[in-house]
Amino acid sequence: MEMKGVTASIANHSGFLDAYAFLRRKLTKSQVAILAYHRVYPNKDNWSLEPTSPRTFEQQMEYFCRRYEILSLDKLVQYIHHGKSLPEKAVVITIDDGYKDSYLCAYPILKKNRIPATIFLVTGHIGTANLFWWDRVSYVIHHISVEQLSLDELGSHSLWSEPDKSRANLIVTERLKKLPEERKNLLIDKLFQLSGVEIPVDLGRELILSWDEVKEMSNGDISFGAHSVTHPILTNMPLEQAKYEIIQSKKDIEEKLGQRVTAFSYPNGDFNAELVSFIKETGFTCAVSISPNKLISPKDRLYGLSRIAAIENSNKFKGMSCGLWGDLKSILR
């Protein structure tokens, strides 16, 4: 049986998960996971990011409330910075980008359960009508009228059916991520010109947070971190431009909220030594990335903290959060 199937099957038995988590804690002395969500939304349109449904999100939050200690990101950073032993079993909740459903769907659940969380904002889009670049690309691909798309290094793709469009969108987006930032933006503009697709004027405002909504959440247990201005892959651009993306996103939030911003989330999880050095100098106390299998240890570097990306499959997600998934992947390599 495929490893994913084995893991999901095992994870269906919560008694096994609890026993495994208990044994693992005794061996490793700590079991802390930073969880990364993006969208929490009930209806999946055919072009935007795959969401976690509010029902699943609530079930996951209730599960973690019952079985884990829930820490704020700032509290976890304090443990590591001061060399303190980490809690035996804890999670940290984070949400990336700044979609409006963070306010409409995730925030009420977090508030009801008194769960602290950190939302990382792409500040150049907050309070505007501008979609994130990957949503713009996806919207065009799913609404274009041609049955075949061919564009330079993005390749040639069939757009005959919805599955074809979804497949093409995934490939095109991943290829764009690997390109230098200037070339990426040029190809996105070219895609728009070729497609003739018009994006509704107010679609961005419907999908992305306003600053008033950010301010309201900041009065609760929600903290805000910087996630760049435009969400470029920082390692794909000149260092000076990357520095602007980092420092300006920090300033944007601090000016709007009147609060110090201490956490940064690397767009796409990509970073290097130069970026880490700059982020340290700029006054951040931590920066987070993405790793599907990595739990946090007291020896982890504060400017490269790994997070586990949330998924709709709660059984598998529970296995990932307790370390089972990562351990199985290591064994079966």
Write the pLDDT tens digit of every residue in 120-178.
999 999 999 899 999 999 999 999 999 999 999 999 999 999 999 999 999 999 999 99
pLDDT of residue 332: 55
pLDDT band at 29 (very low <50, low <70, confident <90, very high): low
- Predicted confidence (pLDDT) at residue 85 exceeds the cutoff of 90: no
Query: In a 3-state reduction of DSSP, which class is residue 294?
Result: coil
Alpha carbon 142 to its chain's center: 23
Determine the Cα–Cα distance for residues 125 and 242; give it in Å rounded to an integer. Answer: 17
pLDDT of residue 2: 47
Element (H, E) at 96: strand 90-97
For residue 333, what are its two tokens?
């390599």
Compute the average pLDDT of residues 281-305: 89
Higher pLDDT, 183 or 1: 183
Higher pLDDT, 263 or 162: 263
Compute the average pLDDT of residues 217-245: 96
Determine the Cα–Cα distance for residues 244 and 329; give it in Å rounded to an integer. Answer: 38
Determine the Cα–Cα distance for residues 50 and 42; give it in Å rounded to an integer. Answer: 10
- Predicted confidence (pLDDT) at residue 103 exceeds the cutoff of 90: yes
Determine the Cα–Cα distance for residues 18 and 25; give it in Å rounded to an integer. Answer: 11
Compute the average pLDDT of residues 260-274: 96
The percent helix, strand, coil of the chain (3-state, each to 5) is: 50, 15, 35
- Predicted confidence (pLDDT) at residue 233 exceeds the cutoff of 60: yes
pLDDT band at 44 (very low <50, low <70, confident <90, very high): confident
pLDDT of residue 169: 94
For residue 255, what are its two tokens?
């000016």
CA nearest 154: which of 177, 132, 182? 177
- Predicted confidence (pLDDT) at residue 6 exceeds the cutoff of 50: no
Residue 75 makes CB contacts below 8 A (sequence gap 6+) with: 116
